[in-house]
A and B are shown apart, each in its own frame.
Chain A
Amino acid sequence: MTSLSLSSRQLAAQHRIADLQRRFPLLQVLALAVLYLAGALTVPGWTSTSTTSSMLVMAGLLGMAGIGQTIVVLGGGIDFSVGAFITAGAVFITELTSVDHWPMWAAIAFPLAVGVIGGTLNGVISYRFRIEPLIVTLGIGSLLTGVLTGWVSGAVSGTPPAWTDSAVSVVSRTFGLPVPPVVVIWLALAVIIGIVLARTQPGRSLYLNGTNPAAARLALVRTGWTWTAGFIVSAAAATFVGMLLAGNGGSNLTSGDPYLFQALTAVIVGGTMFGGRGDYWRTVLGALILTVVTYLLEAHNYSIGVQEMVYGLLIMIVVAAYGRERKIRDRV
């Protein structure tokens, strides 16, 4: 009798914690705090302004690369063309301004237009023909990278415009504040996306569509449009990140590649799961966690190989903790 009441009390406590975790990313905040503290205790100069600033720049680029993936994943899809669109943004802004001498506005507008068109293709093809978005986006992404490679004949020759460099430079300031512009842009975007997802009709439609497309259709959500809009935002955001990335270490035909899997990791580690579970603030946390882990491993001289393995294990731990699918015997 005693053991029974005890176990039911334990169960209730477990449920309360699980419920709290669903509403608020408690685990992630704790993990971030512990990791940051570990850095502060073991790495000299961890809390200095320059380290903090460069961490924030890395987290900002990673977090912005995760904007599109968060939205697409919430809608129940996945976008494997993020890397290709980031590359496209970086290559276009570099080539169009320095080799082809386009005016700046056109060199910014053109990649964004490519993003919108590519995102539309991703969304429409996968929705209309009911094809796994993974395959469609992989194909469109490879098509885009391939066309870029063919266009520049295998190598990017220009230099990126100066403003991209100052936007992501660790020492630059925004309106006198000692933070690089990219961090301010990131924060502004996070607030906007947070409001749109939580408080507006398109945002709620996205969640509904991701949770149950059939129910969403019956609730008069325009499912095809909602689905496609997610992919358009994703591709356009990715080209924008690509343009900023051009200033952070130049641009080449593989600039965007690492961001595909890293951004997806940030989304998953943050706690956003396929089909309507999560929000963009979790991705912000995920990007910060990944950044702190990367800096921690680098400071302790672990190689890139070890870093990648740690990324893999991180996803595994997080998903095992609370991102699992239903049992098959519960779906019969």
Chain B
Amino acid sequence: MIGAVRFLRSRPYAFALVLFVLLLIANIIAQPSFAGPSNWPETLAIFAPFAIAALASTPAIMSGGGGIDISIGPLMTVVDMIIVAVLLPHGLGAPWVVVPICLVLGAAVGAVNGTLVTVLRFQPVVATLCMNFILTGLATQIEGGSTPQGSTWWTDDLAGSFGPVPGGLISIAVVLAIWYGLSRTAYLRNLYATGGDDAAAFSAGVDVTRVRILAYTTGGLFAGIGGLALMAVLREGEASDATMYTLVALAAVALGGTAFTGKRGSLIGTLLGAACMYLITNVLSAARVPDTWTNAIYGGLLVIAVIFSAGLANATQARAT
């Protein structure tokens, strides 16, 4: 038992990994066509926005101090809306125009969140709640009375596949590649130090303010990529979608073993958590459970996942003291 706890403690995502493998097998049994490569591009394209929303929520949570970003969902919606309702109608559909705009917009919003939290010393919930309001308002404003629609050749590929490579896989891979690049620098270690104990990290010479601003900025940047993936698969802008992503993303983060107090967590765990959420929905719809119960299952899973994750942390803490 203690061995199992230690194993899970050293790899917080192990629980999500086991669950992921079990669910994958369940999915293939319930729906043999799920494993067929011809379905992969569509599956991955639908999965990508959920996964990236969860990945984008992770750095802020890892930065500790009650860190959380509840503006990720609205940010992705705003990016989606700006592409569909502003850029495409003005003939600015080329990837070298759209992609940088989305990335800069996402990172800028994240940087503002980070600045509010660190320099102006807002509570993270309050700061990102302001941003949530502002972004939701902006999305509603751009949407106007109708639901704007549109797509272009490369976003269709992003929802399908570029040659043999599924588009959804590319957008997730870009996020993971950026994170891998950051993990080669001192950034990630500083982030863990700050999340574990910000006062101690500050005393040890870590620039806590910069680390936290960077954490929110990275989250915003990921949300920019997520907005692209969302736009590719929806081909329209819908302002009311935004809140749903927040819940699903946080549930995936919890399932992936990232502690909401900072300290413990990884992007791989979050990705596995998001995959579990997706596979659960999928296997339920294959088993003909009505859609109306999906939200109940998400909520239940979120509660169970956080209790499990916290129980694990408390078990090791109790042994340590």
Query: Which residues on A are within 8 Å of B, measured CB to CB?
Result: 78, 125, 129-132, 134-136, 138-147, 149-150, 153-154, 257, 261, 264-265, 268, 274, 303-313, 315-316, 319-320, 323-329, 331-332
Is the beta-carbon distance between A327 and B134 smaller than 8 angstroms? no
The reply to whether B303 and A303 contact each other, CB–CB distance below 8 Å, is: no
Interface segment out of the listed B27-35, B82-90, B247-255, B263-271: B247-255
**Which residue of A has the minimal Cβ distance to B71?**
A312
Q: Does B296 contact A (CB under 8 A)?
A: yes
B38 surroundings in chain A (CB, below 8 A): none
Q: How far is the CB of B52 from chain A (nearest CB, A)?
A: 20
**What's the Cα separation between A310 and B133 when bound, in Å?**
8
A-B contacts besides A139-B306, A319-B130, 10 pairs, CB < 8 Å = A132-B66, A138-B302, A142-B299, A149-B295, A310-B137, A312-B131, A313-B130, A315-B129, A319-B123, A332-B199
Considering the chains assembled together, what is the distance between the CA atoms of A131 and B310 in angstroms? Answer: 7
Enumerate chain B residues within 8 angstroms of A149, measured Cβ to Cβ: 292-293, 295-296
**Nearest 6 CB-CB pairs, A to B?**
A146-B296, A312-B133, A305-B141, A142-B299, A143-B299, A308-B137
B binding-site residues for A, Cβ under 8 Å: 66, 68, 116, 120-123, 125-127, 129-134, 136-143, 198-199, 202-203, 208-209, 243, 247, 250-251, 254, 260-261, 290-300, 302-303, 306-307, 310-311, 314
Contact of B123 (CB < 8 Å), options: A144, A274, A312: A274
* Given contacts A129-B307, A150-B292, A141 and B133 within 8 Å (CB-CB): no
Residues on A with beta carbons closer than 8 Å to the beta carbon of B208: 328
Are A140 and B129 closer than 8 Å at their CB atoms? no
Contact of A309 among B116, B137, B292, B299 (CB under 8 A): B137
Who on chain A is nearest to B293 by CB? A150
B307 close to A146 (CB less than 8 A): no
CB-based contact B298/A146 at 8 Å: yes
Are A78 and B138 interface neighbours, CB within 8 A?
no
Enumerate chain B residues within 8 angstroms of A316, measured Cβ to Cβ.
116, 122, 130
Check A146–B295 contact: CB distance below 8 A.
yes
CB distance from B134 to the nearest CB of A (A): 4
B85 CB to nearest A CB, Å: 13
Main secondary structure of the interface of A (DSSP, over half): helix
Cα(A149)–Cα(B244), bound, Å? 15
Q: A131-B307, A312-B131 are in contact. Are A328 and B292 (CB under 8 A)?
A: no
Which chain B residues lie closer than 8 Å to A268 at the CB level?
Answer: 126
Given contacts A138-B250, A143-B299, A320-B120, contact A131 B260 (CB under 8 A): yes
Residue of B nearest to A130 (CB): B310
A145, B302: Cβ atoms under 8 Å? no
Residue of A nearest to B253 (CB): A135
How many whole Å from B234's CB to the nearest CB in chain A? 19
Complex alpha-carbon distance, A130 and B142, angstroms: 41
B295/A328 in contact, CB under 8 A: no
Residues in chain B near residue A307, CB distance under 8 A: 137
Contacts known (A129-B314, A143-B296, A146-B296); A138 close to B140, Cβ less than 8 A? no
Residues on B with beta carbons closer than 8 Å to the beta carbon of A136:
303, 306
Residues of A within 8 A of B296 (CB): 142-143, 145-147, 149-150
| Contact present for A140 and B122 (CB under 8 Å) | no
Give Cα A313–Cα B132 distance, bound, in whole angstroms.
11
Minimum CB–CB distance from A10 to chain B (whole Å) comes to 23
User: What are 7 A-to-B residue pairs whose CB atoms are below 8 Å?
Assistant: A130-B261, A134-B125, A138-B250, A139-B300, A139-B306, A142-B299, A143-B303
CB atoms of A315 and B126 under 8 A apart:
yes
Report chain B residues within 8 Å CB of A154. Answer: 291-292
B306/A135 in contact, CB under 8 A: yes
Q: A131-B307, A261-B133 are in contact. Are A78 and B125 (CB under 8 A)?
A: yes
Q: Is the CB of B121 within 8 A of A326?
A: yes
Q: Once the chains are docked, how many angstroms separate the CA of A185 from the CA of B307?
A: 38
Chain A residue numbers with a CB within 8 Å of B66 are: 132
What is the CB-to-nearest-CB distance from A96 to chain B, in angstroms, rounded to a whole number?
Answer: 19
CB neighbours of B261 from chain A (8 A): 130, 132
Query: In the complex, A265→B125 CA distance in Å?
Result: 12
In the complex, A328→B303 CA distance in Å? 32
Residues of A close to B314: CB separation below 8 A: 129-130
User: Per a CB cutoff under 8 Å, which of B133, B139, B293, B303 touches A311?
Assistant: B133
Expressed in whole angstroms, the Cα–Cα distance for A18 and B247 within the complex equals: 38
Q: Is the pair B260, A132 in contact by a Cβ cutoff of 8 Å?
A: yes
A281 vs B23: C-alpha distance when bound (angstroms)? 51
Complex Cα distance A304/B299, Å? 29
